Amino acid sequence: MNVAIQQLIHSVDLISPELILLATVCVMFITGPFFVSEGGAAPPGLRKRWGAFSLVALACAGFVWFTSPHADPVTTGPFRVDNLTWYVRGLSLIIGAVLAVLFIDQVDDSHSAEAQACLLAILAGVNLTAIANDLVVLFLALELVSIPTYVLLYLPRRGQSNQEATVKYILLSIFSSAVMLYGMSLLYGAVGTTNLVGILEALRGGQAAGSATLLRMSAALLVAGLSFRVAAVPFHFYAPDVFQGVTSAGAALLSFIPKVVGFVAFMRLLPLAGGLGLQTPAAGAPSLRLLLAVLSIASMLIGNLLALRQQNLQRLLAYSSIAHAGYMLVGLAVGWGAGTTSGISALLFYLAAYGLMTIGVFALIACVGSSGSAIRTQSDLAGLSRTHPAIALGLAVCLISLTGLPPTGGFFGKLNLFLASWSDGTTMGIVLAASLALNAAISAWYYMRLVAVMYFENAPGDAPQKVSLAPAVAGAACALGTVLLFLAPQTIWELAARFTP
Amino acid sequence: MSPEAQHTILWLIPGAPLAAAIIIALLGPKWLGERSRWPCWIAQAISAVCALVLLANIVPNNWVQAADDNGPVGVVASGYTWLDLGQADDGGMQVRIDLRADAISALMLAMVTTVSFLVSVFAAGYMHGDRGFPRFFAAFSLFVFSMCMLVLSSNYLQLYIFWEGVGLCSYLLIGYWYERPAAAAAAKKAFVVNRIGDMGFILAIFLIWTSFNSLDFSSVLFDADQMRFALDQHPNRLAWVPFLLLIGAMAKSAQFPLHVWLPDAMEGPTPVSALIHAATMVTAGVYLIARSMPLFMNVPDAQVLVSVVGAVTALLTALIALTQNDLKRVLAYSTVSQLGFMFMALGVGAAGAHLATAGATAGMFHLFTHGFFKALLFLTAGSVMHSMGDVIDMRRFSGLRRALPITHWTFLCGAAALAGVPLLSGFWSKDEILVVLHEASEHPQYGNYFATIYWIATITAALTAFYTFRAYFMTFWGPERFPAEAGHHPHDAPPVMAWPLRLLAVAALGIGLVTGVTHWFARYLQHTPSMEPEEHMVFHVDLMVLSSAVALAGIAAAWWMYVRRTGVASGVASRAPFLYDLSAKKFFLDEIYNAVIVLPLRLVAKLMYLIDVFVIDRIVDTVGALPRLLSAGPRLLHAGFVSNYALMMWVGLLACLGYMLGLFS
């Protein structure tokens, strides 16, 4: 009992950045309604003030994060602080600041407090996923991401398609959470503890030798549940409809945050497979790595092939997001393999690059045109290089990065994944590397077509639309970050490479 | 000076122009307008001052220090690791972005930054009133940044990156007036021809990488043990490297047969021709070969080839320059020809290791003086264009010496230096090249080659004097005639253009006197690591007399043909129409390339296009339709009903479960 209390007191220290965020969330939810009249009218510009407030909270959390230790000794407590935690926290706070800026103009003044609060809660959830050392904490953290996401997607209330898309996401997301929870409970049933360190010890000690079937089932259920989060085939069906329905900012959030939590949870759970005997199984027996590799190749291929013919921009980007889940699964499947480049480090690096480029694309789409004449389809991009040269340039940078060409961070992202899978040396690694290269080539077709539409087709001729400032700032930051990531990739790579199980 | 201060100065040399480029690109079009000149000027001035400090103080101090504690020669300002892929000893790769300065780079930088400062001042007057003013100065600053980074590179990959960087800026600036089809075509031509060279260069880098496991100059070039080891391990690979490097240098420095892009590049604004296509970028190839001298020393055949390429280029383009009527084209061909001179000198190492340093010194010295006087000549040509209403055809104006006195006198200084009039800068550097070629002709094996090359060089020197003064006399002497575009009273260069001309003229007259007579340049350059100090430095008076006579004879012939007896020139042309056409039509090289390379490639491209349309597109369409066909079955599932999506997820989940439980195996 004493030990548990000690651990709890100590853990408050460990999660101080998240506590700052959650305290701000409480303040926003409680005081937010007081600024809005009964009829729903709010003073103009309120959303900017709430946006600034949430940026201040993020800055405070960021300061605490930056001065926090990179790694603490791992105990059997609920939390563990290691290099993964430090990396993911930084990623979520920095990209979260970009999202906070992006969301300023996406909701009405009257709902701005709630929107920003939901965003901060989501970011706290991301951080808790990275710090979780216990199945219960992990599940709670994942739900702390999911539930505010539902609210955040629902808040803009822009017509029926938005609501329909949100409801679809809610229902399917709950389904996947249930699957995952079932997987966790089977795992608990097999080993008798929810602590990750405890589970690993129990598996290594052979205490669960009799319940191999339970463990295998739980592994399958966990893979299925997390695959929904990262939008991997065949759990991707929600993505196109939902991305198309929600606002650009909502789609930006959905393309990045669930992927981060999904892959981080994978990284926390995957080392358990080592004790399970699934990492390097006997020939012919089912292997978790092979399962992930199959999911990866399927996601890459299906995502890219279906993206080829899309006209709606956000639907296209949904398929692109599925394909990118496939690329990142390559890193997961290779893991800490025999190669000179670690797949997990490559995946962490790719997450940073991907966050910048995908949010950059959505933000820059969002900043052109008001709700009346937003960019919805490819042809809306025509002539953008003449009407808005700077925005077209930023979009081109992000799209080139999504393709994986220099001079952008996406180039090194794909290069690292390729090197990791190629240097793995196994047949699976080589097949993964080959299909990664092939799919990058396929994806160039539709990304470069967008660039061509912007630069070589003429604008329809009506007057250039106004640019809204907040998303433009967010998009510019992303495009700039993408180029900087090419100029100095080592700064991120060294942090990403530090994490070993 | 503290190491920190040294590093700051080193970083400022490329950093200031980069900052200017960013500032102008961001603020120029909307806010700065013609004020864009100020960031550019200030940056070039900072860069030039820092380069002079580097030349006069930092690098010499480093020799003293290196001699004292046997440390490495060269100042390194460490940057950061750009790429780190795997372990270096395990086929991995590590590339750092560092700045490294030694004698050769300090000399080059001093020339590059001072010339670019003067040209940037001139350009502000020349480009006055142009629509794309900020765009010009942004690209200009970006070019100076790339060029400084190229010279300051510490490894081959970094050099390659900025090699491409200067190429990009050159492309942007040749095509600066992109509405003009000729300018757009010239930019494209320069781009495509340079790709051939880049291929050679990058292959050379691959081979260097596989044989040394490193791209750093310090381990590839300056470490004799590593070189011996690599030669033992991979003799064949290292035999290829100099040839491939030569291909890269030939494209960038416009050597035959890849020289065709440079004359067309004159479509760009004249300050660009002066800076990029005369003084700096085109000399990058010379710098590359001089820098890589240890790699060339292993393969004498490659060095002979360097000299032969230089000799052929020098003679051929000098012959072409004889009959060109466009003043800028005369200067362009003369640039190619002078670059040929530098190449000739770079190859003499084949005739004995003791000559390698002398050859590199002569080549670099000519690069140094040529940078000043050729920039001057181009700028004066720009000044002529400026007052003649953009007419540059020498048949349409003459006798400008009274209307444009400043332009006239400064052009005369540059022309005299280029022609090799005794005691001017071009005389000293050209003379050194002739000396090393003459000494090399005593080598038992390659002597005959170098004897021939020596005589080619002498003949070319005579031709150079002739065509330079032909241009001078045609432009500035004879009856006073102006084209209609010039208006009634052509005005001479305004002060902002005149002062750079005057300063460059002083340099063209005096820089050789300062550095040549005293052998200061040679003594300085020999501190470059991998260059052997040379013992005896004497003047060969007989060669000097010969080359002076040759230069003066060329000038006299030009005076006789174009001032005294003006009918002679056309008489010669009509009596030997074939020879005249050969020169005026540039030996039909463009036509030959068109027939041999461009047309077949066009045909292949046409064929590929047909294949693309009728075969590849069909396949792509089929593949693209495949998902639709496949999804025709479960289309109901994909019609937007949540329950169907859930069902699909359920099926996926069952598949995962089935696999993990081993049901499929």
> Nearest CA to A280 among A426, A484, A142, A94?
A426
User: Rounded to an integer, what distance in angstroms lies between the CA atom of residue B307 and that of residue B446?
Assistant: 11
Does the CB of A492 have a partner CB in chain B at under 8 Å? no
In this structure, are A432 and A320 located in the same domain? Answer: yes
Based on the number of CB atoms within 10 Å of its own CB, is B479 exposed (0-12), middle (13-18) or buried (19 or more)?
Answer: exposed
DSSP for B116-178, please give it.
Answer: HHHHHHHHHHHTTT-TTHHHHHHHHHHHHHHHHHHHT-SBHHHHHHHHHHHHHHHHHHHTSST
Asked if residue A160 belongs to a domain, the reply is yes
Asked if residue A252 belongs to a domain, the reply is yes
Q: Which residue of A has its CA nearest to B655?
A: A220
Does the CB of B642 have a partner CB in chain A at under 8 Å? yes
In this structure, are A372 and A474 located in the same domain? Answer: yes
Q: Are A489 and B83 in contact (CB < 8 Å)?
A: yes
Write out the residue range of the structural domain in which residue A80 sits. 8-35+46-173+196-202+236-268
Measure CB to CB from residue A306 to each of B627, B661, B662 and give the nearest one.
B627
Q: 3-class SS at B98? A: strand
CB contacts of B648 in chain A (<8 Å) are 234, 237
- List helix spans (H) across A404-500: 409-422, 427-456, 469-487, 489-497
- Counting the structural domains of chain A, the total is 2
Give the mutation candidate from A490, A492, A495 for the B interface (greatest B CB count, under 10 A): A490
Give the gap in angstroms from C-alpha B94 to the nearest C-alpha of chain A.
Answer: 11
In this structure, are A263 and A382 located in the same domain? Answer: no
Does the CB of B634 have a partner CB in chain A at under 8 Å? no
User: Rounded to an integer, what distance in angstroms lies between the CA atom of residue A460 and that of residue A377?
Assistant: 13
CA neighbours within 13 Å on the CB side: how many for B69?
5
CB contacts of B657 in chain A (<8 Å) are 217, 220-221, 224
Q: Which residue of A has its CA nearest to B657?
A: A220
CB contacts of A493 in chain B (<8 Å) are 84
Kind and range of the H or E run holding B337: helix B327-346
Chain pair A-B, CB pairs under 8 angstroms: 99
Asked if residue A40 belongs to a domain, the reply is no
Asked if residue A138 belongs to a domain, the reply is yes
Contacts 24+ apart (CB under 8 A), A62-66: A62/A17, A62/A90, A62/A93, A62/A94, A62/A97, A64/A16, A64/A17, A64/A20, A65/A17, A65/A89, A65/A90, A65/A93, A66/A90
In this structure, are A357 and A484 located in the same domain? Answer: yes
The residue count of chain A comes to: 501
Does the CB of A283 have a partner CB in chain B at under 8 Å? no
User: B-contacting residues of A 446-485, CB under 8 Å?
Assistant: none
Which tops the pLDDT comparison, B515 or A28?
A28
> Nearest CA to B382 among B327, B323, B464, B318?
B327
Unique residue bearing structure tokens 């930088």: B109
In this structure, are A255 and A339 located in the same domain? Answer: no
In this structure, are A359 and A242 located in the same domain? Answer: no
Angle, vertex CA A399, rays to CA A395 and CA A400, nearest 5: 115
> Nearest CA to B217 among B199, B233, B205, B228?
B205
User: B-contacting residues of A 364-403, CB under 8 Å?
Assistant: none
In this structure, are A483 and A445 located in the same domain? Answer: yes
CB contacts of B149 in chain A (<8 Å) are none
Within 10 angstroms of residue A3's Cβ, the number of other Cβ atoms is 10
What's the pLDDT score for residue B636? 53
Which are the contacts of A67, defined by CB distance < 8 A and separation ≥ 6? none
**Bridge pairing between strands B75-85 and B93-101:** antiparallel
Distances (CA, A) of A315 to A318, A319, A377, A441: 5, 7, 9, 20
User: B-contacting residues of A 62-121, CB under 8 Å?
Assistant: none
Q: Are A172 and B627 in contact (CB < 8 Å)?
A: no
Measure CB to CB from residue B648 to each of A237, A285, A286 and give the nearest one.
A237
pLDDT string in tens for chain A (501-residue length) = 577 777 777 778 888 899 999 999 999 999 988 888 877 777 888 888 999 999 999 999 999 998 888 777 777 778 888 889 999 999 999 999 999 999 888 888 888 889 999 999 999 999 999 999 899 999 999 999 999 999 998 887 667 888 888 989 999 999 999 999 999 999 998 888 888 888 888 888 777 777 788 888 888 999 999 999 999 988 888 888 899 888 888 999 999 999 999 999 999 888 887 655 554 444 556 778 888 999 999 999 888 888 887 888 888 999 999 999 999 999 998 887 766 788 899 999 999 999 999 999 999 988 886 545 567 788 888 888 888 888 889 999 999 999 998 889 999 999 999 988 988 888 888 999 999 999 998 888 889 989 998 888 887 766 567 788 888 999 999 999 999 999 988 888 888 888 876
Asked if residue A217 belongs to a domain, the reply is no
Provide the token pair at A353.
Answer: 């690059």
A324 neighbors A232 (Cβ within 8 angstroms): no
In this structure, are A416 and A321 located in the same domain? Answer: yes
Give the gap in angstroms from C-alpha B310 to the nearest C-alpha of chain A.
Answer: 36
Question: What is the sign of the dihedral through the CA atoms of A250, A254, A255 and A257?
Answer: positive
Give the mutation candidate from B78, B135, B649, B664 for the A interface (greatest A CB count, under 10 A): B649
Residue B94: phi and psi, rounded to 5, are -130, 125
ipTM for this prediction: 0.89
Asked if residue A209 belongs to a domain, the reply is no
Give the mutation candidate from B653, B654, B657 for the A interface (greatest A CB count, under 10 A): B653
Does the CB of A220 have a partner CB in chain B at under 8 Å? yes
pLDDT tens, position by position, B261-275: 888 888 888 898 888
In this structure, are A104 and A250 located in the same domain? Answer: yes
Measure CB to CB from residue B656 to each of A220, A241, A284 and give the nearest one.
A220
Give the gap in angstroms from C-alpha A241 to the nearest C-alpha of chain B.
Answer: 7
Which are the contacts of A159, defined by CB distance < 8 A and separation ≥ 6? none
Q: Are B92 and A340 in contact (CB < 8 Å)?
A: yes
A119 neighbors A54 (Cβ within 8 angstroms): yes
Asked if residue A227 belongs to a domain, the reply is no
In this structure, are A347 and A446 located in the same domain? Answer: yes
In this structure, are A262 and A296 located in the same domain? Answer: no
In this structure, are A242 and A356 located in the same domain? Answer: no
Asked if residue A228 belongs to a domain, the reply is no
